[in-house]
Amino acid sequence: MVKRLLPYLFPLTAAILLVVLESDVLYALQEQNLFLHTPLFYEQQMVRAGGLLTWIGSYLTQYFYYPMLGAGILCLLWAFFMWLCKRAFQLENTWLTLIPVACLVLTITTLGYWIYYLKLPGHAFCATIGSIVTVALVWGYRAVPRRYHLPSVYIIFAAELGYPLFGFYGLMATALMALLTWKDDKRRWEDISLAVTLIILWPIKNYYFEYHETNIVNIYWAALPVFAHQGARFFAYNIPYIILFASMVLMALKPGIKSMKWLNVTIVAVVAICLLKYWNKDENLHRELSMTRSVEAGQWEKVLKTAKGVKDEPTRLICMMRNLALFNQGAKTTTGYRDGAKRPAAPFTIHTVHTAGKLLYLQYGIPNYCYRWCMEDGVEYGWSVEKLKLMAMCSILNGESVAAQRYVNLLKKTDFHKQWAKRMEAVIQDQRLVLQVPEFKHILPLLRDDNFLTADQSQQELFLIEHIMSTPGATPEQRRLADFTMNYYRSNHQKLVEQ
Amino acid sequence: MKHAFYILLTMCLLACSGPQVPSQYKESQAEVPIYPDYQDVTVPENIAPLNFELLIQSDEAVVRLSAAGEEIVCEGLKIRPDIDDWKALTQKAKGDAISVEVFADIKGQWIRFKPFHIYVSADPIDPWLSYRLISPSYVSYEELTLNQRCLENFDEEAFVDNMLCSTESGGQCVNCHSYQQWNPDRMQFHARQTHGGTLIAYDGKIEKVDMRHDSLLSAGVYPAWHPTEKLIAYSTNMTMQAFHTAAPEKIEVLDSESDLILYDVDKHEVTTIEKQPNELEIFPTWSPDGKWLYFCSAHFVYQSDSVDRSEITMRANEVKYNIYRKSFNLKTRQFGEREMVFCADTLGKSATFPRLSPDGRWLLFTLGEWGCFHIWHHDADLWMKDLKTGEVRAMDEINSDDTESYHSWSSNGRWVVFSSRRYDGVFTRPFIAHIDAQGRGSKPFELPAKDPDLHRQFLKSYNVPELMKGPVKLSPQEVASKLKDDGKPITYKSK
């Protein structure tokens, strides 16, 4: 019994590692996610193939608000997936299922800065839920009696329902059914051709008659994340997905692989090495995420503690958050902290306005620019809890109470941000409370009435420094904040331009 | 067993009997807060049900809508009358009003709020409305659709979807849809960036045109179909954006240069209408007889030697547009000299989006403090000029404290639809107002939605609302397929 359960320790270990090492990443995933308990939110997901999957994915991503809870759910789902694989593919060796589960873990741990840029809602859970659905549909197919053309009917059912609701995963299930039929009984060519026909034609039919939000070139990949940015595609991030689907094919074709000690040890070793090698260990990103969380919570000591621990050259975002913390703590210099401008470890240029820069615009007392980038990114990369919160705060500071109420009303429809929304609602109803809200305490002295028509060209820090230093209306507090960067700015201007 | 059957039967009958107006209640003179605000609005007889939400804390609520002996009783906080019952009611109330009584159970006591009316005009409205659904973003865009909505019910569909032409390496923006004389079979819109060009559909023939030319500032931008000829006037614009650091407007879109051109649909030929030095011409529109072209123009002299984008950005609030017109000879296709129609800059204001009523008497336009991008200006209001008497006035009966901007007339000239940000200052919603023979507007109503709360949750704006006599018969896939073709080049003919 214990021996049989041994493989299930793997998802448990992976979940524990996620909580220990990636707590800030998991928290950031839910901050970049949005799930609303409204019919409109559901309808907006269902206008694309795979809509139900993204709806479920978005729902479950919320639980990363408590990273342990979210990771616990993932752990249970991975264990269930392993159990399901064993049943559906009639596996003799459960250890084989470690391969797809490791891929599922990697779909989260390799993301890095993609957490800000991926456009697929609920992507952290989509691969896991989608894979479960795929295997469950295959299991159902196996269970269908082989008479009265029931297998054919089931294939039609699986493709016709699977694709609209789960996108690619529905097609994958249909493909696995064709594969199993081919393996078990080659005479049933009609089921094989039916499955192949449905895989090819059903997305096309849906393109012309059901959905109008997906380019025809992308219809077969519905509900899979697209790793593309600034016109370039980054194929490497798809590898965990490819191995995941390949492992399903392997399990379907070779279920009889016996459980042998050397094989099981090899699987565990390979999986462990892959996880170790490809797990994103970018220290700067982890520090940025941790500091962002601390800035949101007003934990300035923690921000400085995290900044102090920087071993490598820090990114400008780390320096900006540190400077803000030093300013808020009344410090005079940045002595004792490492300065730098290391480019974020991503395969494309990262602009701070797309990451924590929105929060920093607010903290630097320019709510209009924070609001602007929330809107821009909300449109391009999808709405998120973080953006709605920031937009609500910007609207409150700008005196736009109806707009603020709109964002607060939406946040009241979430599971974990209701209390925050209710707190802000009280401020909207009584503007005098603004002075008592901890989130606004340090921002209020930095707010300015003078207006300039300008643009940041996505170069946030450069813009902030030049705006503060070149405009006469800058408050002494703003100048004091800008002073923290001035030394670095004077000697590293070009580095800032390149950011 | 027998008793149980009767109890069940009674329960079923009670459940099927429908909501009842309470027999005992306390009268209140307070107006009931509702969203959208449909109190005392005037609606066309062919409008979809005006679903609304009661913004009260109540355990139970009943609403009675009645007119000429006909009544509908609804219960709950979201009032959604059955569409057939609503149609019957509006027919009875045509030329008169529907009385709306709201009863609410507040802390165990039924209260009847002060009743209000929904006036039903006998003037019908064109049955379809098209608009672009766009998030009120600044430079980014992702999902953009041109949608059409049947105003007689809640049917809505997209007929253009930019995502069908967008790829990871390049997005597509769609904008400026417009129709010749409210005719959905004669329409045009632009696509920018990936597969960019102007798509022109005319009586079943669809053509993609590439209007870029060395002699022009840009491809056609703001369009105006000639009412009878296969001609479209456009502005060409060198457009840019800048962002306010503190002002509530947040964004400014302005032109460093702009001209007017005329496009001949059959000949694929472009000629220049207006290209005056130190003038920024924009927003062409034709008079209903097609003999006049109205447009806006701002006089702006650069202090630097040439066009300087940073200078106009710095001096953006000096850019003030007036409304002009030029005569047009249908035979020779020649334009006359410009004539002033409304001089906004002497009032220190800027006038945009001139639109003439189908009878040619009323000129409706947007007036703001400065610039041409009034959709983001909270001070922008609708104004009307009586071209018969010359009287100009603010349409106070239509305007709100927030933005009113893009507007268009119905084909019978009795309704206008316009964009307004009156509810939250951020998201534009279409509002419809009745205009009587004296040019007076009635209280406008927001586009009715199936779920009355829709517009408070929906994070997109309704852009460029245009009324149509019927639906556009193109599908998004058909449009996408056409857009993927190369655009037909134009020829430029200097005057």
Give me the residue from A213, A368, A383 closest to B163, CB to CB.
A213
Residue B170 sits at the chain A interface (C-beta within 8 Å): yes
What would the mean pLDDT of A74-91 be, rounded to a whole number?
Answer: 97
Which of B 32-71 lie inside 8 A of A, CB atoms? none
Residue B52, pLDDT score: 98
Is residue A444 predicted with pLDDT exceeding 70?
Answer: yes
Q: Is pLDDT larger for residue B101 or for residue A212?
A: B101
Q: What is the ipTM of this complex?
A: 0.90
Residue B8, pLDDT score: 60
Instruction: Provide DSSP, B240-308.
Output: EEEEESSSTT-EEEEEEEEEEEEEETTTTEEEEEE--TTEEEEEEEE-TTSSEEEEEEEE---SSSS--
Inter-residue contact A268 to A2 (CB < 8 Å):
no
Comparing alpha-carbon positions, the chain B residue that sits nearest to A226 is B168
B193: region left, alpha or beta (phi > 0 left; psi from -120 to 50 alpha) = left
Would you call B170 and A383 a contact, using CB atoms and an 8 Å cutoff?
no
Residue B7, pLDDT score: 58
Which residues in chain A have their CB less than 8 angstroms from residue B252's CB?
Answer: 453
SS3 B232: strand
- Chains A, B: CB pairs < 8 Å: 130
Residue B310 sits at the chain A interface (C-beta within 8 Å): no
Would you call B248 and A226 a contact, using CB atoms and an 8 Å cutoff?
no
Q: Which long-range contacts (CB under 8 A, 24 or more apart) does A99-102 make?
A: A99/A243, A99/A247, A99/A250, A99/A267, A99/A271, A100/A131, A100/A243, A100/A244, A100/A247, A100/A248, A100/A251, A101/A10, A101/A11, A101/A14, A102/A10, A102/A14, A102/A271, A102/A274, A102/A275
Comparing alpha-carbon positions, the chain A residue that sits nearest to B157 is A212
Give me the residue from A380, A403, A453 closest to B242, CB to CB.
A453
A46-60, A394-408, A456-470, B146-160: range with lowest mean pLDDT: A456-470
A410-414, A490-494, B56-60, B393-397: range with lowest mean pLDDT: A490-494
Residue B400 sits at the chain A interface (C-beta within 8 Å): no
Would you call B243 and A379 a contact, using CB atoms and an 8 Å cutoff?
no
Distance from CA of A270 to the nearest CA of B (A): 33
What would the mean pLDDT of A344-370 be, rounded to a whole number?
Answer: 95
Which one of B37, B243, B256 makes the best mutation probe of the A interface by having the most chain A beta carbons within 10 Å? B243
pLDDT in tens, A306-339: 999 998 899 999 999 999 999 999 998 888 899 9
Residue whose entry in the numeric block shows the structure tokens 């005329």: B262
Which residues in chain A have their CB less than 8 angstroms from residue B247's CB?
Answer: 368, 451
Which residues in chain A have their CB less than 8 angstroms from residue B165's CB?
Answer: 215
Residue B495, pLDDT score: 63
Length of chain B: 495
Which residues in chain B come in under a pLDDT of 50?
Answer: none
Those residues with Cβ within 8 angstroms of residue A149's Cβ, 6 or more apart along the chain or in another chain: none
What would the mean pLDDT of A190-209 be, rounded to a whole number?
Answer: 96
Comparing alpha-carbon positions, the chain B residue that sits nearest to A407 is B457
Is residue A22 predicted with pLDDT exceeding 70?
Answer: yes
Beta bridge partners of B463: B132
Residue B251 sits at the chain A interface (C-beta within 8 Å): yes
Comparing alpha-carbon positions, the chain B residue that sits nearest to A374 is B137
Report the Cα–Cα distance between both ends of chain A, in Å, rounded.
56
Q: What are phi and psi of B157, to 5 degrees?
A: -150, 155
Residue B481, pLDDT score: 94
Those residues with Cβ within 8 angstroms of residue B36's Cβ, 6 or more apart along the chain or in another chain: B50, B52, B423, B445, B446, B448, B452, B455
The DSSP bridge pattern shows strands B488-489 and B205-210 to be parallel
Would you call B314 and A453 a contact, using CB atoms and an 8 Å cutoff?
yes
Give me the residue from A214, A368, A379 closest to B243, CB to CB.
A368
**B282: nearest Cα among B272, B294, B273, B295:** B295
**A455: nearest Cα among B244, B371, B322:** B244
- The tokens for A259 are 């459980």
Inter-residue contact B159 to B477 (CB < 8 Å):
no
Residue B6, pLDDT score: 59
Residue A495, pLDDT score: 76
CA-angle at A451, arms to A446 and A455, nearest 5°: 95
Distance from CA of A290 to the nearest CA of B (A): 28
Residue B169 sits at the chain A interface (C-beta within 8 Å): yes
Q: Strands, E, within A230-342: which ranges? A: 232-233
Q: What's the CA gap between A168 and A225, in Å, rounded?
A: 11
Q: What's the CA gap between B444 and B431, in Å, rounded?
A: 6
